[in-house]
């Protein structure tokens, strides 16, 4: 009985936390993730650091433009 109570409490807290994550949190997380992926790919294929940064920019740019210009936080429809 006690184990189920604790598990249900953690599941509830996790569900509350996940429900507070919105689109802009995901966009902010995508930017460093893009650079990390580009750095890993550049390391794997023995590319230069500049190439890795350029690849990270190419991956992160659509997320950045979408969050800043195409659908900014202040223009959400109710």
What is the residue extent of each domain of the chain?
Answer: 21-72
Would the pLDDT of 2 be above 70?
Answer: no
How far apart CA 21 and CA 23 sit, in angstroms, is 7
Other beta carbons less than 10 A from residue 52's beta carbon: 20
pTM of the model: 0.71
Q: Report the share of the chain in percent with pLDDT over 90.
A: 55
Which pLDDT belongs to residue 14? 79
Residues 25-63: pLDDT tens digits? 999 999 999 999 999 999 999 999 999 999 999 999 999
Would the pLDDT of 4 be above 70?
Answer: no
């Amino acid at each position: 009985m006690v184990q189920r109570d604790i598990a249900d409490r953690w599941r509830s807290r996790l569900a509350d936390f996940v429900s507070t994550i919105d689109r802009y949190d995901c966009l902010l997380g995508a930017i460093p993730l893009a650079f990390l992926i580009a750095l890993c790919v550049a390391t794997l294929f023995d590319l230069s650091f500049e190439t890795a940064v350029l690849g990270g920019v190419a991956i992160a740019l659509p997320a950045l433009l979408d969050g800043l210009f195409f659908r900014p936080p202040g223009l959400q429809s109710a």
